[in-house]
Amino acid sequence: MIKKTMSVHEVAKLTGITARTLHYYDEIGILKPTGLTEAGYRMYDDTALSRLQSILLFRELEFPLKEIKAILDSPDFDASEAISQQIELLELKCKHIEELITFAREIQNKGITAMNFEVFGKSEIEKYKAEIKAKWGNTKEYQEYKKKDIARNGGSYSKIANELLTIFFKLGKLKHLAPNADEVQNGIAAIQKFITDNYYECTNKVLSGLGEMYVGDERFRNNIDNAGGDGTAVFVKQAIVVYCSKRKV
């Protein structure tokens, strides 16, 4: 049973982290003590310890402290939803480790017969982490999206999504052209304008990141290819690279 308040050394003993780490967390503002004793010693209550648990879980998932602070300080942060996300990430991490163990045992038992580096990839984990950062990180883009989302009426979301897919459909019809063709580049400009108008400011830097996601995220890639035909997502990504290279980010 946790006491009502605990000292730095008691928290350190309970959690396994050092007193120096707790002092540092206080300095950077990610975990402030509940209060100070008359002698100036830091004390932590259950609320502070609950926040510390969240911090340590995010650290296990390799989130930088700066990003953890932004997530926990977000006005929209929901602890119960966050723990569900943390569990899913931990399960993905566990799956990744299990695959590595299986791969290592195969090498041990059979020797290295073929090079396989796919097992080391963490794209699925990184993709999910990016979604969490976008939602709780209180970024300018997310805040813009939230405001525009609130302003929409209930039936407009699917309409907007279909309008974006229509742009991908039209780009899919241009796959016979080079990515730098004027018609194709106009289509990329249309995507950028559409996202700015309906979601958040789509700078060239943001657009470049979306291009990577269109190919790297299976859900996006499938939706885009379903709209424009096989290979549309890759084609759009190539066209985005050309588009952004000609303009300042």
Q: Please check whether residue 52 lies inside any domain of the structure.
A: yes
Residues 22 and 38 in one domain: yes
Q: Please check whether residue 241 lies inside any domain of the structure.
A: yes
**Six-digit token pair at 89?**
């990430």
**Six-digit token pair at 20?**
């120096």
Strands 35-36 and 42-45: antiparallel
**Six-digit token pair at 138?**
């209180």
Q: What is the residue range of 12's domain?
A: 5-60
Question: DSSP for 99-146?
Answer: HHHHHHHHHHHH---S---GGG--HHHHHHHHHHHHHHS--HHHHHHH
pTM of the model: 0.45
Residue 116, pLDDT > 60, answer no
Domain count, the chain: 3
Q: Please check whether residue 91 lies inside any domain of the structure.
A: yes
Q: Please check whether residue 65 lies inside any domain of the structure.
A: no
Strand partners, 43: 7, 35
Residues 127 and 144 in one domain: no
Q: Which residues contact 179 (CB under 8 A, 6 or more apart)?
A: 235, 238, 239, 241, 242
Strands 5-7 and 35-36: unpaired
Other CB atoms closer than 10 Å to residue 216's CB: what's the count?
16
Residues 41 and 105 in one domain: no
CATH code, domain carrying 145:
1.10.490.50
**Six-digit token pair at 12?**
């350190």
Q: Please check whether residue 224 lies inside any domain of the structure.
A: yes
Residues 194 and 225 in one domain: yes
| Confidence class for position 155, pLDDT limits 50, 70, 90 | very low
Residue 28, pLDDT > 80, answer yes
- Among residues 136, 169, 201, the one where a domain terminates is 136
Q: Please check whether residue 15 lies inside any domain of the structure.
A: yes
Other CB atoms closer than 10 Å to residue 91's CB: what's the count?
10
Residues 129 and 147 in one domain: no
Residues 146 and 232 in one domain: yes
Contact yes or no for 204/249 (Cβ under 8 A): yes
Q: Please check whether residue 43 lies inside any domain of the structure.
A: yes
Residues 42 and 27 in one domain: yes
Q: 86 vs 44, which has greater pLDDT?
A: 44
Q: Please check whether residue 40 lies inside any domain of the structure.
A: yes
Residues 154 and 211 in one domain: yes
Residues 83 and 36 in one domain: no
- Residue 183 is predicted with a pLDDT of 95
Residues 132 and 149 in one domain: no
Tell me what the mean pLDDT of segment 179-185 comes to.
95
CATH code, domain carrying 16:
1.10.1660.10
Residues 53 and 89 in one domain: no
Residues 144 and 132 in one domain: no
Residue 196, pLDDT > 70, answer yes
- Residue 87 is predicted with a pLDDT of 81
Residue of 171, 148, 140 whose CA lies nearest to 74:
140
- Among residues 105, 136, 167, the one where a domain terminates is 136
